């Protein structure tokens, strides 16, 4: 079963850019777009059908409900579904990268801008590779 793909970023232009790459590299034709983490959490809980895995492209610095809060919330409300997160951030701080490793859901960390080549690499990540075979 292919994972449902969610893209979370407070900037519309970035959402559009990432969506284009997701579609172009064949990960998903209709990824879900969110401008804050809260809406995405709600979406995941509403589509909590059995076995439906989720792959989330998550921005960290957002004004309202930021990436860290999203990850905390995810940990506090355990789901049976597989939720994998790839962080896409404009931050180049090593501390952010180190912090991301504390979350077991995080399987990738990309510094913006995302290129087509980077997106092609995503499907090769061990944890999610089986979904795309």
Where does this chain bind another protein (CB under 8 A)? 11, 13-14, 17, 20, 61, 90-93, 111-116
Nearer to another protein, 74 or 114 (CB): 114
Return the biggest CA–CA distance within the chain. Answer: 37
Q: Report, in Å, the least distance between residue 129 CB and another protein.
A: 25
Nearer to another protein, 3 or 37 (CB): 37
Nearer to another protein, 21 or 74 (CB): 21
Q: Report, in Å, the least distance between residue 86 CB and another protein.
A: 15
Q: Report, in Å, the least distance between residue 13 CB and another protein.
A: 6
| Rounded Cα–Cα distance for residues 115 and 32 (Å) | 19
The β-bridge partners of 110 are 88
Q: Report, in Å, the least distance between residue 124 CB and another protein.
A: 21
Cα 62-119-104 angle, rounded to 5 deg: 60
- Provide CB contacts within 8 A for 79, sequence distance 6+: 44, 45, 48
At 33, which helix (H) or strand (E)? strand 32-34
């Amino acid at each position: 079963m292919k994972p449902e793909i969610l893209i979370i970023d407070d900037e519309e232009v970035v959402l559009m850019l990432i969506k284009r790459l997701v579609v172009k590299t064949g990960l998903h034709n209709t990824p879900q777009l969110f401008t804050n983490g809260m809406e995405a959490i709600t979406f995941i809980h509403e589509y909590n059908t059995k076995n439906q895995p989720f792959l989330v492209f998550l921005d960290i610095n957002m004004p309202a409900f930021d990436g860290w809060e999203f990850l905390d919330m995810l940990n506090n409300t355990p789901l049976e579904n597989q939720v994998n997160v790839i962080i896409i951030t404009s931050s180049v701080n090593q501390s952010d990268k180190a912090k991301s490793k504390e979350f077991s859901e995080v399987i990738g960390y990309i510094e913006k801008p995302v290129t087509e080549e980077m997106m092609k690499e995503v499907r090769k990540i061990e944890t999610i590779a089986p979904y795309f075979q």
